[in-house]
Amino acid sequence: MSLTSAALSPLPNAAAERPKTAVHPVIPPLNFAMVSPGVYRSGYPNQLNHSFLKSLKLNTLIYLCPEDCNQQNLSFYKQNGISVMQFGIQGNKEPFTDIPEPVIRDALEVLLDVRRHPLLIHCNKGKHRTGCLVGCLRKVQRWALTSIFEEYRRFAGNKTRILDQQFIELFQTSLVRYNVRYKPAWL
């Protein structure tokens, strides 16, 4: 037998002998990232992201859109014991649409309670509303505005909104309330 014919002869198929198992891809949602230990951010998850979300062992989901969650996601959250906290914020696209500061403060109160961790913050694309909430968290953490805006721009890409950045800059951290007994170690 020549080298060429040996290289072309079939080898025993070890894969055929192994039991077949379903492969579930682990795909993070759009714009996914860790914000701080126990806190994540992303765009709107879909069914392809469920295996990934399950691996995070989430307790809470902070949903920042006014629209209802789709039924597939709601079923997944219920099956996995994930509480959904909806803070319906309209997109800040127009100069006359303001992000409601009391709603951001309420969302921060949930976010700053370790009993709710691990948690995921999301809106449609994980850019603007999520960016505003994370930006306000960064102010509570006493980050410099330049670092806050750099992080905001990283996720917003070429769709940065001056109104969002202005909201973050003017956000009054002194009005944020949380239980110090349950605050995260990174605060």
Report whether pLDDT(6) > 90.
no
Confidence label for 94 from pLDDT (cuts 50, 70 and 90) = low
- May I ask the CATH class of domain 26-169? alpha beta
Report whether pLDDT(105) > 90.
yes
Instruction: Tell me the whole-structure pTM to 2 decimals.
Output: 0.84
Instruction: Give the residue among 69, 42, 68, 70 at the shortest CA–CA distance from 56.
Output: 42
The model's pLDDT over 21-35, given as tens digits with 9 standing for 90+, comes to 666 678 999 999 999
Set 65, 123, 132, 136: catalytic member: 123
The model's pLDDT over 50-90, given as tens digits with 9 standing for 90+, comes to 999 999 999 999 999 999 989 999 999 999 999 999 998 87
DSSP state of 33: E
Known catalytic residue at 123: yes
The model's pLDDT over 129-147, given as tens digits with 9 standing for 90+, comes to 999 999 999 999 999 999 9
